[in-house]
């Protein structure tokens, strides 16, 4: 006897679901499935877990975040400064998702750990940039990207509000979902 399709998602998809429910809720399962770009089976499994963990409630109008869910989301503050972007030649994939990390306390050595985590989750990779002295630098040698990619650097500068020392995690992937997952995985690999 066949048990039907198996769920296929990552832990970061659960965090994505909770964030979408929090910002767009109440939201129904069908619309949530479209937002997450996951199968119906995966979304049902995620919702069951979120309900079991008391992070969401299911109402007649759709799913809503509970106070406990809001507290859990606060552990992932990058949603406040993240967005889909077009990073041009500064990134590796068809789609890009940016997370801005305000002046992290630990120094990023070379961005390889972040790139590796992005690839492990199915993304094309991650680009790590540091905003210093009004421009972007790529660790470890702090190559001045403005010299090599002036148009892409200017486009990013115009579209973002940055402070000295901010780190940009740009996750890339063949889909928007994979780009976002890549950026989240890169963020989680910060020292």
Rounded CA separation 47/121 (Å):
21
What pLDDT sits at residue 148?
A: 84
CA of residue 48 relative to chain centroid, distance? 22
Three-state secondary-structure class, residue 27: strand
H-assigned helices in the chain: 11-24, 29-36, 40-52, 67-73, 112-120, 145-148, 150-159, 176-188
What pLDDT sits at residue 1?
A: 46
Q: What is the pLDDT of residues 72-94, one digit of tens each?
A: 999 988 888 999 999 998 888 89
Largest distance between two CA atoms of the chain: 63
Q: Which H helix or E strand runs over 99?
A: strand 95-101
Full-model pTM: 0.89
The answer for 71, left when phi > 0, alpha when psi is -120 to 50, beta otherwise, is alpha
Rounded CA separation 79/157 (Å):
20
CATH architecture of the domain 11-73 equals: Orthogonal Bundle (1.10)
pLDDT average per 10 residues of sequence, the chain (191 residues): 66 96 94 95 95 96 96 90 92 92 76 91 92 82 77 90 90 96 93 74
What pLDDT sits at residue 2?
A: 52
What pLDDT sits at residue 105?
A: 57
What pLDDT sits at residue 33?
A: 96
What pLDDT sits at residue 4?
A: 57
Average pLDDT value for the chain: 89
CA of residue 75 relative to chain centroid, distance? 14
What pLDDT sits at residue 6?
A: 59
Question: What is the domain partition of the chain in residue ranges?
Answer: 11-73, 77-188
Superfamily of domain 77-188, CATH level 4 = GAD-like domain (3.30.1360.30)
């Amino acid at each position: 006897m066949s048990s039907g399709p198996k769920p296929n998602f990552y832990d970061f998809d659960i965090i994505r679901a909770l964030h979408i429910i929090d910002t767009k809720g109440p939201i129904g399962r069908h619309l949530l499935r479209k937002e997450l770009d996951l199968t119906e089976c995966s979304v049902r499994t995620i919702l069951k877990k979120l309900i079991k963990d008391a992070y969401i409630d299911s109402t007649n109008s759709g799913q809503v975040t509970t106070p406990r869910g809001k507290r859990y989301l606060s552990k992932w503050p990058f949603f406040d400064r993240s967005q889909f972007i077009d990073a041009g030649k500064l990134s590796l994939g068809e789609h890009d998702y940016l997370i801005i990390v305000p002046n992290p306390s630990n120094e990023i050595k070379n961005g390889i750990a972040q790139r590796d985590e992005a690839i492990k989750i199915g993304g094309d990779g991650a680009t790590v940039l540091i905003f210093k002295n009004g421009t972007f630098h790529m660790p470890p040698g702090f190559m001045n990207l403005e010299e090599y990619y002036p148009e892409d650097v200017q486009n990013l500068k115009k579209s973002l509000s940055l402070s000295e020392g901010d780190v940009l995690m740009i996750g890339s992937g063949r889909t928007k979902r994979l780009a976002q997952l890549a950026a989240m995985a890169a963020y989680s690999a910060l020292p």
